[in-house]
Amino acid sequence: MCGRYATARARQELIDEFQVQVDAVEKDLQPDYNVAPTKQVPVVLTRAAKDEPEEEAQRTLRTVRWGLVPVWAKDLSIGSRMINARFETVHEKPAYRRAFARRRCLLPADGYFEWYVLEDSRTDDPAEGEKAKKKKPQKQPFFIHPKDNAVMAMAGLYELWKSPENEWVWTCTVITTDAPDELGRIHDRMPMIVTPDRWDAWLDPGLTDTDQVRELLTPAMAGNFEAYPVSKAVNSVKNNGPELIQPSTNGG
């Protein structure tokens, strides 16, 4: 799964990179090196204005809550369990299929974090194995990012949920896929990345054929990403700053 990532590009940089037509970010967009579920995150989407539905849909930058809340949900809490949607089933799951057909988005990121279970916390000895079950396994956080440092456009879906107070809450999820071999040793899943040549089609709300939409997504090619251990300070969502994505020789 993808449960933490970093997004530190400046607002104008995202507007330029994604050729955004409408800037709907209401507050200053601050760099976030430790994005966690339920946080507000920047997304790029294409949508017609609510008060002008006949107008042409425009590419928009806005912030939404990470953790998709389906329209039928009774409250927001379900979103914390729906931060990721598996590519293999996203088009057929009741919580995601409507959004997959019409409400797709891109989540800009500099890279993401995964945790690797250290070998010394594993054992083949049955007796030791019972002891290990009682202890939390030792995990080393890794930061994984494109080797060329290009922005990662993570494939996502967004949804609008109406609260009991009649307020619309925008939420999103990240689509995940199998990780290539060199990353799979850390974790077997990774965010699905949409290449720039497919951004237009992915964001097009008029493209509703799920088979065609699925064809837009292909797993990352081996060799395109770099992974290295980082400080365990990233384990706490209270910590934030560029030091969290710097290489660490001991992970401490």
What residues are annotated to the active site? Answer: 2, 114
Residue 17: C-alpha distances to residues 61, 151, 164 (Å): 11, 9, 37
Q: Which helix (H) or strand (E) holds 142?
A: strand 139-146
Cα–Cα distance measured from residue 191 to residue 108, given in angstroms and rounded to the nearest whole number: 11
C-beta separation of 232 from 141 below 8 A: yes
**Pairing status of strand 225-229 against strand 4-7:** unpaired
Neighbours of 238 (CB within 10 A): 8
Cα–Cα distance measured from residue 157 to residue 176, given in angstroms and rounded to the nearest whole number: 11
What angle (nearest 5°) sits at the alpha carbon of residue 214, between those of residues 201 and 175?
Answer: 95
Label residue 160 left, alpha or beta by phi (over 0 means left) and psi (-120 to 50 means alpha): beta
The residues pairing with 238 across neighbouring beta strands, listed in sequence order, are none
Neighbours of 112 (CB within 10 A): 24
